[in-house]
Copies of this chain bind each other. A is one copy, B any other.
């Protein structure tokens, strides 16, 4: 199949999602792809608005992502952090010298009255990224982690405590009912989509915050395009990050079946790894179409191959009558 005239919107968190987004951009081109990004990890640090997932996506698409750290910018230096450390400063959240430029520029743009969506567009364009990267919301939505020691912020959990605390619950807090980002809403409500793709990001920490914005979730449920998730769990393990640990702690069990159960009222199809093909029947029993392939993305070839596989799966599902059934299930939930 060719990808001409195909259009996709992707829901993504940071690193894992960015890999698939990069593959999709390479096969679809910049204009046929829009990305709705988690902002539940965003926080203010040293007075600067830090948006880890937005930056990971833009850096990745700009070929500016740091291959050594997996986060931050390519060719990074650490003079600021070293100087701050020497003065006894707080260094649990590491900001590279070049990365700082992004946060300071974002601060300027927000102070000039731009929304986070508009500021993100400006930064992406300045970095030569034409692909539309939309914050899920222009108002703060904060992912909060319940632990035995109390509720903590996502960055405290993920960076400061290195994802070590046992999670007993998660919630997504906004000042009021969070309004969707205008670009995010448009990207998910578009009538000409070939498919909506949920990237292999952490469902609870990266995708659920997006779905916590009610209008975004209902736009996905009401969109006639098929919704496909790519499992972030392979053979009971997460490719990266605390997904498997978190699933165990939440009593779900780290398995692709848990991913299917979590997404079952939202998705039409699930892409699972060949190592998980024995779970195919149980997932199909939930009314979810399953496609099996190698989902590990080590190099660009892996990314474009998986991206093409997902696009082809969407084209196949697009003609399925099952779509209507899923929608009515979702709306009654």
Q: Which residues of A contact B (CB under 8 A)?
A: 46-48, 73, 76-77, 79-90, 96-102, 104-105, 107-108, 122-123, 126-127
Contacts and interface: CB of A to CB of B under 8 A. Distances in A.
Contacts of A104: 46, 80, 84, 89
A122 B86 CA distance: 12
A246 to B, nearest CB: 31
Given A48-B47, A77-B77, A83 B100 contact: yes
A123 B77 CA distance: 23
A105 B77 contact: no
Most interface-central of A86, A97, A107, A122 (chain B CB within 10 A): A97
A141 to B, nearest CB: 22
B79 A105 contact: no
A82 B100 CA distance: 10
A22 B126 CA distance: 44
Contact of A82 (B47, B82, B85, B101): B101
B48 A126 contact: no
A36 to B, nearest CB: 23
A87 B102 contact: yes
Contacts of A76: 79
B89 A105 contact: yes
Nearest to A46: B104
A120 to B, nearest CB: 12
Nearest to A125: B88
Contacts of A97: 77, 79-80, 83, 97
A122 B89 CA distance: 11
Contacts of A100: 80, 83-84, 100
Contact of A87 (B80, B86, B89, B126): B126
B46 A87 contact: no
A98 B80 contact: yes
A25 to B, nearest CB: 21
Given A98-B79, A101-B80, A87 B127 contact: yes
A64 to B, nearest CB: 10
A126 B77 contact: no
Given A47-B48, A122-B88, A126-B88, A83 B98 contact: yes
A102 B85 CA distance: 10
A67 to B, nearest CB: 17
A105 B88 contact: yes
A88 to B, nearest CB: 5
Contacts of A88: 105, 122, 126
Contacts of A123: 87
Given A77-B77, A77-B79, A87 B101 contact: yes
A101 B127 contact: no
Contacts of A81: 101
Given A82-B98, A84-B104, A89-B105, 4 more contacts: A47-B107, A77-B97, A80-B80, A80-B98
Q: 10 closest A-B pairs (Cβ-Cβ)?
A: A83-B101, A47-B47, A79-B97, A84-B101, A87-B105, A83-B98, A89-B105, A97-B97, A87-B126, A80-B100
A79 B97 CA distance: 6
B48 A86 contact: no
